[in-house]
A and B are shown apart, each in its own frame.
Chain A
Amino acid sequence: MWMLSFVPDAVLEMVVNGVLIVGAISTFLTLFVINRILRWIPALAAVYPFLQLLSVVILGAGIFFKGSYATEASWRGKVAEAQERARLAEQQAHDANEELARVAASKVRYIKGRTEYITEYIDREVTKWDTKFLPGGVCEIPREFIEAHNKGAAKPDFKKK
């Protein structure tokens, strides 16, 4: 219960153990040693059945609370462990993402630089051959070449297949 989480564990354990011990002792006294007690305190003769019942009830409550507390403590431990693993997983995921993003950005920068370098090379060296491959010339780039290139570069239309 969420209310129990406001109570320190030590206090809770003390109360639970206290109820159990009181119940055990009073049950023992009222059920097994009652005759001796009645000899010393005759006034209890009128109420000892009630005391017996009360003792058994307290003992039962103590056993119930002890079991509940043990279960609660066990679940709290499991919850704490699961939360720690979740926190660790989030941290590891974040670190892995940072590393991946850094490496990917570095590779993309390299590719961009390489493309620019090759473009500069084309502007410097390949443009010298442009006049030999002009339209209408001997080495004109055939239309079929352009067609084949563009068909390959076109985005596939998967609906047509």
Chain B
Amino acid sequence: MKYIPLLLAVLLTGCFSTAPKFPDYPEGVGMNESCPDLKKLKDDPVLSDVSKTINDNYGSYWTCAVKVDTWIEWYGKQKLIYDRAVK
């Protein structure tokens, strides 16, 4: 009788199995933070202020566009890698 728990423990090892390790979810590239707000003109600006503000806003837009395009490309490539791995 005293060996029954031990026997049960040995038999239960049949329930263990080796399972494959699934790949870790890949780190994202591109959109690590939100795009910044655009700059506004102050009261009574001069022409160069207007020009600089517009230039800065264009720079912000193009930087954000690069991040979004990188994110889209990242998703496409990771999906391809995932599909090849699991299918």
Chain A interfacial positions (CB closer than 8 Å to B): 1-3, 5, 75-76, 78-79, 82-83, 85-90, 92-94, 96-97, 100-101, 103-104, 107-108, 111-112, 114-115, 118-119, 122-123, 126-127, 129-130, 132-135, 141, 145-146, 149-150, 152-155
Q: Is the CB of B59 within 8 A of A129?
A: no
Q: How far is the CA of A150 from the CA of B19 in the complex (A)?
A: 58
- If the complex has contacts A1-B16, A5-B18, A104-B70, are A93 and B78 also in contact, measured as CB distance less than 8 A? yes
Of all chain A residues, the one with the shortest Cβ separation from B46 is: A130
Across-interface contacts of B30 in A (CB, < 8 A): 100, 104
Secondary structure type dominating chain A contacts: helix
- If the complex has contacts A100-B70, A146-B45, A153-B57, are A89 and B16 also in contact, measured as CB distance less than 8 A? no
A-B pair count, CB < 8 Å, reads 129
Contact of B5 with A by CB under 8 A = no
Across-interface contacts of A101 in B (CB, < 8 A): 29
Q: Is the CB of A119 within 8 A of B55?
A: yes
- If the complex has contacts A5-B18, A82-B20, are A100 and B56 also in contact, measured as CB distance less than 8 A? no
